Structure 1
Amino acid sequence: MSPPVSVTAAPQAPPAAIGRMALGAMLLSTTSIFVVLAQVAPTVSAFYRMLFGSAMLLGWVALRRRWVRVGWRDVALALLPALGFSLDLLFWHRSILWVGPGVATLLTNFQVFLMALVGWWIYRERLGRWFLPGIAMALAGLWLLVGAHWSLFDARHRLGVWLGLASGLAYTAYLLSFRRALSGHTGLSAAQFLGLMSLLSASLLLLWGWVEGDVFALVTVRSWSALLALGFFGQVLAWLLMVRAMPLLPASLVGLLLLLQPALAFVLDVLLFKRPTGSGDWLGLALALAGILLGTLRRKRQVIAPALQESRG
């Protein structure tokens, strides 16, 4: 997971930056797959993602000798985003296991519309001309994917759909509080603050898991490897790649490349887990992705936070 960083898009698009951005988005697409492969309870996989990710991030900051002393103010600033991200993972990981990684990843990416509405309501940012058509297109695609088959779903599958959408709401709360903390309120670098937030999130998830009665012991090589990969690819490597690439890319290209995440997650779901998929599902996926892309477009003169603000994983 990556912090939102406000940037002004550069006019040129260096091929190396495009490659890093595309690779980061593709790595994010694997996170939901690792949740399934880990074969542990959803809260347990969320806990280990944040625990392993925080250890790797904080270790990376220390190795680069960029460690800054962490004060109580930094901890207090990290609590709200940690709570938002913990709720996001609690909802999203259940959605992944109950409706499948492809649809769950698509559902949570609907948060781009919430972020745009928050920007319009609180920060008086102007919505793009394609915002409303984008919502309509995305909802049409979502109906083809889940609405058209609603009567065939059992109660858990239906709940998984709602939890996928709820994870986008929790993720929006995380993004807003994270962006506020990084806007001059903390002296920590983005990487160190993200590591601190991840550690606090792991603590909250551990407490919630104990309340649920989950078992946190990992007893198989498959669980260890899947969860280590989840923390490394989703919480560290994808972030390092994208945070270097985004300031060099136009916002429209960033939005387009980020769509690789839900698109590839859906394809991997079909290939690896044999998700039943017909022509209506593929059309629904295309419409939803196109709608999400339209929802990310802004006027060129705006200063935006296009990339990690609108990425999932």
Structure 2
Amino acid sequence: MSSSRAFALSVLVVSACVLGLAPILVRLTETGPAAAGFWRFVFAMPLLLVLTARPKSWAGGGEGIGRPSKWMILAGLFFALDLSFWHYGIVMTSVANATVLCNLTPVVVTLFGWIVFKERPARLFILAIALAMSGAFAMAAGASGAQGTNPLLGDIFSLSVALWYSGYFLAVKQARTTAGAMRITLWATAIGIPPLAVVSLLLGEDMIPATLAGWGACVGMGVMHVAGQGGVAWALGKLPASVTAVTILVQPIVAGLLSWWIFGETLTPVQALGGALVLAAIVLAQWSSRKPGVPSDGDQTKTGAGPKGPAPVNV
């Protein structure tokens, strides 16, 4: 693995760990689920504007605001749907379940690339996907069942997020062929604000946090959004979408551990085993991406991660 690819992978792992804070902060915002997403986007905007306008850097700054492409618009709409369903899932079921089920994105991304772009994944990668999904199922099935207001509906909502996040994922991947990470994240965030506001108002949610701690959680979500989602968007320009989709499965592991520590949600032995399987799948997927004779330096043209979508052999 070249140093540039290793660095991109390191940024991706750190970003995924940062995003593992999201379900914790959602519960601490003292607002409705969709309203939490609204404040996440609102507080992220000032930082995104600064980063987009700053001198050009490795993070993709310096482009200027410009105009959103159709892929940025789609990314914003898909992300608004993602947060609306997922935040309700976080409230209705356990943090571990909500985060794992919504991260079944690799299956959708890989099937999309396979069916639409005729990009057949390697056998070892298919094994990695199966292992990851087995781990995800174990984490969901092994939950104690005592968390959340409506565990079954919460699990369904969280499962649907895999579809919305896959749409976001693929839209960002396409947008990265012509724009930098910060500009894409800026426009996807700005476009997602109005839908989240409408959803929260129509559902009669509490829009305003009751305490300073609630406001702090809202601000924290904005910072987390820029650091986490911006890092993932940047990595999508350096790594195949399929590799990125599996690697971000460290997010539910981080969220599960934090929910156990902060909220006392039980991490059962079965859930712990599921987390170990997911980590093993990530290692296997990275191994499967190292085909002999194929450069692993993040060159999109050479690795197959170009404009047509996710690479055929990586997740």
Pair in the same fold by TM > 0.5 = yes
Highest RCO, 1 vs 2 (Cα 8 Å, sep ≥ 6): 1
Q: List per-residue Cα deviations over 1:157-204 (Å, max 9, x = no partner).
A: 0111121121111011112223333434xxx54312321221110111
Query: Between the two proteins, what is the percent identity of the paired residues?
Result: 26
Structure 1's 275 and 215: CA in aligned 2 closer, same or farther, altered over 3 A?
closer
Counterpart in the other structure of 2:304: 303
Residue type of the alignment partner of 2:305 = I
Counterpart in the other structure of 2:212: 221
Structure 1's 193 and 155: CA in aligned 2 closer, same or farther, altered over 3 A?
closer
Residue type of the alignment partner of 1:199 = A
Matched, 1:238 2:231: no
Residue type of the alignment partner of 2:258 = L
Which runs of structure 2 are paired with 1:93-132 in the superposition (5 Å)? 93-132=87-126
Check conservation: 1:255, 1:293, Cα contact below 8 A: no
Deviation of 1:82 (Å):
1.4
Matched, 1:198 2:189: yes
Structure 1's 230 and 116: CA in aligned 2 closer, same or farther, altered over 3 A?
same
Check conservation: 1:82, 1:200, Cα contact below 8 A: yes
Counterpart in the other structure of 1:6: none
How many pairs were matched up? 292
Counterpart in the other structure of 1:5: none
Counterpart in the other structure of 1:276: 266
Structure 2 length-normalised TM = 0.77
Q: List per-residue Cα deviations over 1:57-88 (Å, max 9, x = no partner).
A: 023222448353634xx265433221111111
Provide the C-alpha distance between the structure 1 equivalents of 2:248 and 2:121, rounded to a whole number of angstroms. 20
Counterpart in the other structure of 1:157: 151
Check conservation: 1:21, 1:257, Cα contact below 8 A: yes
Q: Tell me, which stretches of 5 or more residues in structure 1 are unaligned?
A: 1-9
Check conservation: 1:113, 1:295, Cα contact below 8 A: no
- Farther-moved stretch of structure 1 (36-45 vs 16-25): 16-25
Check conservation: 2:102, 2:160, Cα contact below 8 A: yes
Deviation of 1:287 (Å):
2.4
Counterpart in the other structure of 2:177: 183
Provide the C-alpha distance between the structure 1 equivalents of 2:232 and 2:94, rounded to a whole number of angstroms. 26
Structure 1 length-normalised TM = 0.78
- Farther-moved stretch of structure 1 (147-156 vs 55-64): 147-156
Residue type of the alignment partner of 1:285 = G
Between structures 1 and 2, the one with greater helix share: 1
Structure 1's 210 and 251: CA in aligned 2 closer, same or farther, altered over 3 A?
closer
Provide the C-alpha distance between the structure 1 equivalents of 2:8 and 2:279, rounded to a whole number of angstroms. 22
Residue type of the alignment partner of 1:225 = G
Provide the C-alpha distance between the structure 2 equivalents of 1:84 and 1:182, rounded to a whole number of angstroms. 16
- Is the partner of 1:103 in helix, strand or coil? helix
- Farther-moved stretch of structure 1 (56-65 vs 253-262): 253-262
Q: List per-residue Cα deviations over 1:248-275 (Å, max 9, x = no partner).
A: 8899997786443222111111111111
Counterpart in the other structure of 1:31: 22
Question: Structure 2 residue aligned with 1:140, among 134, 143, 147?
Answer: 134
Question: Structure 2 residue aligned with 1:84, among 78, 81, 88?
Answer: 78
